[in-house]
Amino acid sequence: MNKKAILFFDEIGRNDIARVGGKGANLGELTKGGFQVPDGFCVTTAAYQDFLRHNNLAAYITPCLADLSLDNSALIGEKIRAQIKKSEIPQALTQEIARALLHTGVDSCYAVRSSATAEDLGFASFAGQQDTYLNITEVDFIINAMRDCWASLFTDRAILYRIQNNIDHEQVDMAVIIQRMVWPEISGIMFTANPVSGHRGMISIDAGYGLGEALVAGLVSPDIYQFDKHSQQIESKVIGQKKLAILPVRGGGTVTEAITGAQSTRQVMTDAQIIALGQLGIAIENYYGAPQDIEWCLE
């Protein structure tokens, strides 16, 4: 396995899950396919393993996991996360991340995203099980967010999910994505097969205002559009009541804003935008050769 600590998206693809996790591998594959992916790079699983060795963390984590049960999983997870968060980042890795940020834009804001090797698999998605930090600026804050992502490999929900799916805790590695933020007016999720009915001829699009975090966290009822692949026309629209939006703040961080009046029940996307997005979904599905779920945004 390639032991590089940093890999840019154009250096990786769908077969690199062991190095950059499921999310990182797909961002790399989409980049290679010529789709519009915001710039970024992955801090690889090799860097995570080096961090564990640098702090002799296996000597702490392994005995904790040996005592793990459903009854004490919350306590064990909290202990492991606390130990990781107070452990030292190797200086060489800090310097390498600082150099990578010079390439992607040192003055940009970044999403720092967990990408575990056990996520985005056929039998286990791990969606939302590990942490993401949005709109982070400056090297020191990005480094701290990366370490928090490593620690989130042991959130209560991630531990329980691994138990339920018979995944060995110590066989899961963590990569971290550091990806330039965009400033979306609209964002959402697109399923190139209907996630409820399984209908492969119908694309389902969820859309809301601002960052996709509010939608993924279940804080808003999004618009839901059905797009027919054969006719390439909109089949149906359900307009949700979108009471809030999570928005990025210039200089770092996010803010939650209430949406009131007619805007909360207005159709988020124009029909032309829905059709263009549906056609993009078809192109991505054809590229992969299988149905996909896709995070998207419109800046």
Q: Locate tokens 């961080």: which residue?
A: 253
In this structure, the answer to whether residues 126 and 267 fall within a common structural domain is no
Please tell me the distance from the alpha carbon of residue 150 to that of residue 115, in angstroms, as a whole number.
9
Spatial CA neighbour of 247 closest among 281, 286, 213: 213
In this structure, the answer to whether residues 146 and 294 fall within a common structural domain is no
Which of 129, 146, 180 is the C-terminal boundary of a domain? 180
pLDDT computed for residue 225 by the predictor: 97
* Residues contacting residue 290 through CB under 8 Å, at least 6 positions apart: none
In this structure, the answer to whether residues 14 and 107 fall within a common structural domain is yes
pLDDT computed for residue 193 by the predictor: 94
Domain encompassing residue 246: 186-298
Give the chain's domain count: 2
In this structure, the answer to whether residues 50 and 154 fall within a common structural domain is yes
In this structure, the answer to whether residues 212 and 133 fall within a common structural domain is no
Q: Which residues is 113 bridged to in the sheet?
A: 132, 177
pLDDT computed for residue 1 by the predictor: 44
pTM for this model (two decimals): 0.88
In this structure, the answer to whether residues 166 and 141 fall within a common structural domain is yes
In this structure, the answer to whether residues 137 and 276 fall within a common structural domain is no
In this structure, the answer to whether residues 173 and 190 fall within a common structural domain is no
pLDDT computed for residue 210 by the predictor: 92
For residue 165, the domain's CATH number is 3.30.1490.20
Which of 127, 153, 180 is the C-terminal boundary of a domain? 180
Per-residue pLDDT 10s for the chain (299 aa) are: 458 999 999 999 999 999 999 999 999 999 999 999 999 999 999 999 999 999 999 999 889 888 888 888 889 899 999 999 999 999 999 999 999 999 999 889 999 999 988 654 444 444 545 688 999 999 999 999 999 999 999 888 888 877 777 777 677 889 999 999 988 999 999 999 988 888 899 999 999 999 988 887 778 899 999 999 999 999 999 999 888 999 888 878 889 999 988 999 999 999 999 999 999 999 999 999 999 999 999 99
pLDDT computed for residue 7 by the predictor: 98
pLDDT computed for residue 139 by the predictor: 95
In this structure, the answer to whether residues 157 and 194 fall within a common structural domain is no
Note whether residue 116 is domain-resident.
Answer: yes
Note whether residue 224 is domain-resident.
Answer: yes
Note whether residue 1 is domain-resident.
Answer: no
Which of 180, 215, 230 is the C-terminal boundary of a domain? 180
Please tell me the distance from the alpha carbon of residue 126 to that of residue 130, in angstroms, as a whole number.
8
Please tell me the distance from the alpha carbon of residue 190 to that of residue 212, in angstroms, as a whole number.
12
In this structure, the answer to whether residues 196 and 168 fall within a common structural domain is no
pLDDT computed for residue 117 by the predictor: 83
Please tell me the distance from the alpha carbon of residue 278 to that of residue 290, in angstroms, as a whole number.
15
In this structure, the answer to whether residues 161 and 101 fall within a common structural domain is yes
In this structure, the answer to whether residues 202 and 140 fall within a common structural domain is no
Note whether residue 135 is domain-resident.
Answer: yes
